[in-house]
C-alpha cells in the first residue's frame, strides 16, 4: 500500500488517479469469503468455489490493468499518470495481493494444522 501512495504523492508524479486500485484491494477477497461461507452451509460446492476464483482473478487482473491503461491513455499531451507511478503501483499490487493470498493460505479452515489458532 505504501508503494501505491508513493506512486500518487511524490512531487514528480503528483496524480492521485492510481489510488483507485484500492477499490480492487477491497473487492478481491470478497468472492472467496462469500464462497467459503456458502460452501460451509451447503456442503462441498465446487462450482461456487470455481466461480469465486474466476471473479477474484478478474478483479486482480483489473487491478494490474488500470495503472497500465492510465499510463498509456492519450487524454492529455502526456499520459494521465507517469510511467514511474505505474511501476510503483504495479509493485504495490504485487505486495498487497501476495499478502491477501498469504492470509487465505495461513488461515484456511480446511487445514487441520492451524486449528490451534
Q: Which residue do the cell numbers 488500470 mark?
A: 66
What's the confidence (pLDDT) of residue 12? 84
Q: Cβ neighbours of residue 87 under 8 Å, at least 6 residues apart? A: 7
Angstrom distance (rounded) from CA 43 to CA 35: 11
Give the per-residue pLDDT at 48: 85
CB 72 within 8 A of CB 79: yes
Q: What does pLDDT average to over the chain?
A: 83
User: What pLDDT was estimated at residue 114?
Assistant: 47
Residue 106 or residue 114, greater confidence: 106
- Tell me the pLDDT tens digit for each residue of 53-76: 999 999 999 999 999 998 887 766
% of the chain beyond a pLDDT of 90: 41
Q: Which residue do the cell numbers 507511478 mark? A: 85
Task: Extract the C-alpha cell encoding 2.
Answer: 505504501
Cα–Cα distances (Å) from 85 to 6, 10, 65, in that order, read: 8, 9, 14
Which of residues 14 and 87 earns the better pLDDT score? 87
Residue 79: left (phi > 0), alpha (psi -120 to 50), or beta? beta
Residue 25 has pLDDT above 90, yes or no: yes
Residues comprising the chain, all counted = 117
Domain assignments of the chain as residue spans, ordered by start? 20-81
Give me the percent of the chain exceeding a pLDDT of 70: 83
> DSSP class of residue 39?
H
Amino acid at each position: 500500500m505504501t508503494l501505491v501512495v508513493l506512486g500518487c504523492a511524490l512531487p514528480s508524479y503528483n496524480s492521485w488517479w492510481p489510488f483507485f486500485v484500492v477499490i480492487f484491494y477491497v473487492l478481491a477477497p470478497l468472492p472467496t469469503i462469500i464462497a467459503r461461507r456458502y460452501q460451509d452451509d451447503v456442503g462441498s460446492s465446487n462450482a461456487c468455489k470455481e466461480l469465486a476464483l474466476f471473479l477474484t482473478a478478474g478483479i486482480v487482473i483489473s487491478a494490474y490493468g488500470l495503472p497500465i491503461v492510465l499510463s498509456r491513455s492519450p487524454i492529455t499531451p502526456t499520459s494521465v499518470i507517469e510511467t514511474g507511478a505505474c511501476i510503483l503501483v504495479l509493485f504495490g499490487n504485487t505486495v498487497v495481493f501476495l499478502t491477501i493470498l498469504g492470509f487465505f493460505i495461513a488461515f484456511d479452515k480446511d487445514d487441520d494444522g492451524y486449528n490451534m489458532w
